[in-house]
Amino acid sequence: MNIASILKEKSRDVVYVAPTMRVTEITGVLARHDIGAVLVLDSMLQVMGIVSERDIARCLAARGEATLGMTAAQIMTSDVVMATPATTIEEALEMMSQGRFRHLPVVDGHELCGLVSIGDVVKWRISQQALEVDSLRAYVQRAD
C-alpha cells in the first residue's frame, strides 16, 4: 500500500502561503483551516519550505513578540522531506518518525499533489485493520 491510496481518500488541496506572509497572518491560516502546518510555495508553486506550529512556538520562545512580524521565509524549515505517490505507508511513517515531523508533502515529478499528515496515516491504518478484522470474521464464520 502506498501514499496514493491515502491521497485518494482526501482532498488534494494543499494549504500554502507565500514566503512574504507574516507570522500573524500564518497563525490565522492555521486556525481557519484547523491544521498544524502550511507549505511555503514560490510564485511557480514550487516548495520552498514548511512552517508548522512548532516553528512558531520555537521562534516565540527564542525571540518573543518580534516573531509575529517575521515572515514565512524567516521561520520556515527549508530542507523539506517529501514523498511521492509511490512511497509506501511504512516508508512514510519511517520518514516522519526519523525526521520527527508530522507532515509529508507529496510530489509527482515537479508537481505538488498533496500533503499527508501523521493523523491521515494513523486513520488510514485503523480503517485497514478494521477491514482485515471484518474479512477474517467473515472467513471464520464461513468455516463454521
Give the footprint of ligand AMP on this chain (CB under 6 A).
36-37, 50, 52, 54-55, 77, 80-81, 99, 101-104
Q: CA 13, CA 44: separation in Å to the nearest integer?
A: 16
Among residues 19 and 36, whose Cβ is nearest to ligand AMP?
A: 36
Among residues 52 and 67, whose Cβ is nearest to ligand AMP?
A: 52
Q: How far is the CB of 130 from ligand AMP (least distance, A)?
A: 26
Among residues 74 and 77, whose Cβ is nearest to ligand AMP?
A: 77
Cell of 22: 507574516
Q: How far is the CB of 44 from ligand AMP (least distance, A)?
A: 20
Are 74 and 18 in contact by the 8 Å Cβ rule? The answer is no
Are 41 and 30 in contact by the 8 Å Cβ rule? The answer is no
Percentage helix, strand, coil for the chain under 3-state DSSP, each rounded to 5: 55, 20, 25
Q: How far is the CB of 140 from ligand AMP (least distance, A)?
A: 40
Cα dihedral 124/126/132/134 (nearest 10) = -120
Among residues 86 and 136, whose Cβ is nearest to ligand AMP?
A: 86
